[in-house]
Amino acid sequence: MMPVGSVFWHYTYEVPSVQEKIITVQEWQPKAGIKYNTEGVMTIDNADQLMLITTEGEGFLNEENFLFQKFNTRDIFNDLKINGTYKIKYYGWRNGFNSGFPNILSVEKVINENGTTNNKYGDYFGVKLAKE
- Is residue 67 very low, low, confident or very high in pLDDT (cuts 50, 70, 90)? confident
Evaluate if residue 121 carries a pLDDT over 60. Answer: yes
* β-sheet bridge partners, residue 59: 53
Q: What does pTM read for this prediction? A: 0.80
Report DSSP letters for 37-97, one per residue.
Answer: -TTSEEEE-SGGGEEEEETTS-EEE---BTTTTB--HHHHHHHS-TT-EEEEEEE---BTT
Q: Would you say residue 36 has pLDDT above 90?
A: no
Interval 78-113: pLDDT, tens = 999 999 999 999 998 766 665 678 999 999 999 999
